[in-house]
């Protein structure tokens, strides 16, 4: 079986590594062009591109897969994809739109009890149809979902609308962040895509249409969403802090400083400050900075000032002492509010 692979970040690289470890013939890799990263903002390849280069795999990084947008580099990439004569295209967090014409380039693999052939599959980090779209992991945590999972989906022209070939659920731990949950889902996705391709090769997988009910879209995360709205309940804020770790990082403004909040826990009742305005510091000590919320209170235990390091609350307070009564600023008007 010849596989073309399209993906960009670490989540996708885990899937590519699983395919290589299982002995599949990866004949071509597509990834997004290098992007500026790090303090120096030098252009660097994504995790999939790095893995492809390390393994000596043919790598293409066109700016688009639509010829009218990408011009000559895209036309050349599509010609190479056709020449690769892949049986199937595996996609994972590629980040570029794949036109239907591109999805039909591979030769295809058989479905059980169907004349249809599967030409492209996607490793999607949710239990479809919940959380279609760009940020399923973030939105699942933000919404307080108890579980999520991986769907291996047959790709079509819609946004994550294709039938599901294989799916497996995963519990969301109470302290899971978008970073830790993405790692867990990446490992599950790598295992599941190998199983799915083996099943397709043997002609024993069936495609199941997605349910018409329960469709929810996971919209791309904007930096403005990172600003904490202290009028929200503490439980809701705590979920957003975990959802926005590592990007963009939940933040607020206090005493003229922009501060990111990385770890916290919700308290049912604000000790020592009933009736305090949301955003008011109720106490500040080695155990945490307690802040009044719209309902309950939030205990902040790991913070970071602009340009500084992530610090446990004891070390943070050593450099920036706080006192009860100080108040976090309201989010900017442009920040997304729920």
300-333 per-position pLDDT tens digit: 999 999 999 999 999 999 999 999 999 998 777 6
Q: Is residue 329 part of a domain?
A: no
pTM for the structure as a whole? 0.93
What pLDDT does 42 receive?
75
pLDDT in tens, 61-96: 999 999 999 999 999 999 999 999 999 999 999 999
What pLDDT does 88 receive?
98
Note whether 91 and 43 are same-domain residues: yes
What pLDDT does 275 receive?
78
Region 163-186: mean pLDDT is: 98
> Among residues 202, 218, 234, which one ends one of the domains?
218
Phi and psi, residue 11, nearest 5°: -55, -45
How far is CA 265 from each of CA 58, 285, 289, 304, rounded to the nearest angstrom? Answer: 47, 15, 10, 16
pLDDT in tens, 94-121: 999 899 999 999 999 999 988 899 999 9
* SS3 assignment, position 231: coil
CATH number of the CATH domain containing 114 = 3.40.50.170
Note whether 196 and 298 are same-domain residues: no
Mean pLDDT lowest among 35-44, 184-193, 325-334: 35-44
Note whether 82 and 144 are same-domain residues: yes
Q: Is residue 267 part of a domain?
A: yes
What pLDDT does 79 receive?
97
Share of the chain above pLDDT 90, in %: 87
Note whether 250 and 186 are same-domain residues: no
Q: Is residue 49 part of a domain?
A: yes
Note whether 197 and 246 are same-domain residues: no
Note whether 197 and 249 are same-domain residues: no
Q: Is residue 90 part of a domain?
A: yes
For the chain, the average pLDDT equals 94
Mean pLDDT lowest among 39-53, 141-155, 217-231: 39-53
CATH number of the CATH domain containing 308 = 3.10.25.10
Q: DSSP letters of 262-328?
A: EEEEEESS-TT-TTPPTTBEEEEETTEEEEE-SBSEEEEEEEEETTS--EEHHHHHHHS---TT-BP
Domain that residue 83 falls in: 2-218
Exposed / middle / buried, residue 319 (Cβ in 10 Å: 0-12, 13-18, 19+): exposed
What pLDDT does 60 receive?
97
Inform me whether the pLDDT recorded for 338 exceeds 60.
Answer: no
Note whether 61 and 84 are same-domain residues: yes
d(CA 252, CA 49): 35
Note whether 235 and 209 are same-domain residues: no
Note whether 67 and 189 are same-domain residues: yes
Note whether 140 and 253 are same-domain residues: no
Alpha helices (H) in the chain, listed in sequence order: 10-21, 47-55, 67-84, 100-103, 136-142, 178-201, 234-243, 313-319
Note whether 172 and 49 are same-domain residues: yes
Q: Is residue 138 part of a domain?
A: yes
What pLDDT does 273 receive?
55
Q: Is residue 335 part of a domain?
A: no
What pLDDT does 288 receive?
97
Inform me whether the pLDDT recorded for 33 exceeds 60.
Answer: yes
d(CA 159, CA 50): 27
d(CA 288, CA 277): 19
> Quick one: tokens of 309?
């390091």
Could you tell me the end-to-end alpha-carbon distance of the chain, in angstroms, rounded to an integer? Answer: 47
What pLDDT does 35 receive?
81
Count up the domains in the chain and report the number: 2
Note whether 166 and 231 are same-domain residues: no
> Among residues 218, 249, 281, which one ends one of the domains?
218
> Among residues 194, 218, 242, which one ends one of the domains?
218
């Amino acid at each position: 079986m010849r596989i073309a692979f399209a993906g960009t970040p670490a989540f996708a690289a885990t899937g590519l590594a699983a395919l290589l470890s299982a002995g599949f013939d990866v004949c071509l890799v597509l990834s997004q062009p290098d992007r500026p990263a790090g303090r120096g903002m030098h252009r660097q390849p994504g995790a999939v591109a790095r893995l492809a280069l390390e393994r000596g795999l043919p790598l293409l990084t066109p700016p688009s897969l639509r010829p009218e947008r990408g011009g000559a580099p895209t036309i050349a990439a599509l010609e190479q994809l056709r020449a690769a004569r892949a049986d199937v295209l595996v996609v994972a967090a590629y980040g570029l739109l794949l036109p239907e014409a591109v999805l039909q380039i591979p030769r295809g693999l058989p479905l059980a009890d169907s004349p249809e052939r599967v030409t492209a599959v996607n490793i999607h980090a949710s239990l479809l149809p919940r959380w279609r779209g760009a940020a399923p992991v973030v939105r699942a945590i933000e919404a307080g979902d108890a579980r999520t999972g991986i769907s291996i989906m047959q790709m079509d022209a819609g946004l994550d609308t294709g039938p599901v070939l294989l799916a497996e659920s995963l519990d969301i731990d109470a302290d899971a962040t978008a970073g830790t949950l993405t790692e867990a889902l990446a490992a599950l996705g790598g295992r599941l895509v190998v199983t799915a391709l083996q099943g397709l090769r043997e002609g024993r997988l069936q495609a199941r249409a997605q349910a018409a009910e329960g469709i929810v879209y996971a919209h791309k995360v904007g930096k403005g969403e990172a600003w904490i709205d202290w009028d929200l309940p503490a439980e809701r804020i705590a979920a957003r802090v975990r959802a926005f770790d590592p990007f963009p990082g939940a933040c607020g403004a206090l005493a003229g400083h922009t501060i990111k909040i990385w770890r916290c826990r919700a308290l049912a009742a604000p000790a020592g400050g009933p009736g305090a305005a949301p955003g008011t510091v109720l106490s500040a000590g080695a155990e945490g900075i307690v802040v009044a919320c719209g309902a309950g209170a939030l205990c902040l235990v790991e913070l970071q000032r602009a340009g500084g390091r992530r610090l446990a609350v004891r070390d943070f307070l050593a450099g920036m002492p706080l006192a009860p009564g100080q108040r976090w600023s309201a989010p900017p008007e442009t920040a997304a509010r729920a």
